[in-house]
Amino acid sequence: MEGYSDSTMSEQNRLPKNLTFQRSGQTLSGLVTRISAEVALPDGRRVFKTLSEEDLCTSEPSQATVNVTTPRWSINQKFDFMANLIHMVIDEVTCSLIITGSGGLGKTSSVMKALKSASLMEGDGFVLLKGYSTPRGFYEFLYRNNGKLIVVDDCDSVFDTETGVNILKGALDSFDARTICWQSRETSRDNDEDAVPNKFEFTGRVIFISNRTQEDVPQALRSRSMNIDLTMSIAERLDRIAFLLPNIASREGVTMSQAQEAYDVIVENQSLIRDINIRTMVMTLRVRKTAHIDSWKDLAVFQLINN
């Protein structure tokens, strides 16, 4: 808690108590069961101690201020963390990773870059499941690709049913034995070569890329897997785009001067843009490099605010 104080703590305000406080710039609320504070000892030293109800519930007004510093990392550091976590899955140090955050900001391309750096290609090193899938389809995909490194991208529909979540729980689990079940009235014919059993031991690895926030992913899944959340503020989105600007300029065949001009237009009009992402930068840059358009900035702003 940052800057929380209560100068009127009394018997009717005993802990636990619901409080609202600030933490890392965010307003949070919750049930507080313990408060630690910096206190002065008789010899002049200052130490942190957990305050008892006797400390807080006195006849005279008392004050306790609690400051907690939560480590903060830049968005580019988080992308470096993600690359390390991906390599942990590749190297079989861990069997699963969930990556969350808004689309269009480089999650998938970063995963593919890490896989390529490990000499893994789609169909020869990993398999890709992209887009909508029913729970049954997801179950069969895991079975038919058992033992492989599976990248699941933009398949958030799996979260929408209890069945889908339960299948994913089995795939992401950290136990040595991961059993995935499909309990239904359907039975497989013994002579059907393509038959999918109602239960199998999963030995593959999974990198799950989601456009949802980390809070939207069930806790039962997050607790079974490594996690990295790349949800970004507007400032972080702009920082990420600025970091990638040389690569974007090279890919689009423009100079850094042109790329910087296009980036500046986005920064100047950020409050008018519905969604700032890498695609926004690319579209603006393509308008900028159209040399025969004299009023490219007007066209760029028009596209930005109407996209």
**Where residue 294 falls among pLDDT bands split at 50, 70, 90?**
confident
Average the pLDDT over 54-65 and give the result: 51
Length of the chain: 307
pLDDT, position 16: 58
pLDDT, position 55: 55
Backbone angles phi, psi at 230, to 5 degrees: -110, 25
Three-state secondary structure call for residue 288 = helix
Running DSSP on this structure, what letter comes out for residue 160?
A: G
Domain parsing of the chain, residue ranges? 1-71, 75-229, 234-306
> Which string of b and e fits 283-302 if b means at least 16 CB within 10 Å?
bbbebbbeeeeeebbeebbe
Distance CA 217, CA 226 (A): 13
Give the residue ranges of DSSP H helices in 118-181.
135-144, 162-172
Question: Which is higher by pLDDT, 189 or 50?
Answer: 50
Average the pLDDT over 170-189 and give the result: 75
pLDDT, position 20: 62
Q: What is the pTM of this model?
A: 0.72
Rounded to a whole number, what is the largest CA-CA distance in the chain? Answer: 84
What is 75-229's CATH topology? Rossmann fold (3.40.50)
Distance CA 129, CA 210 (A): 12
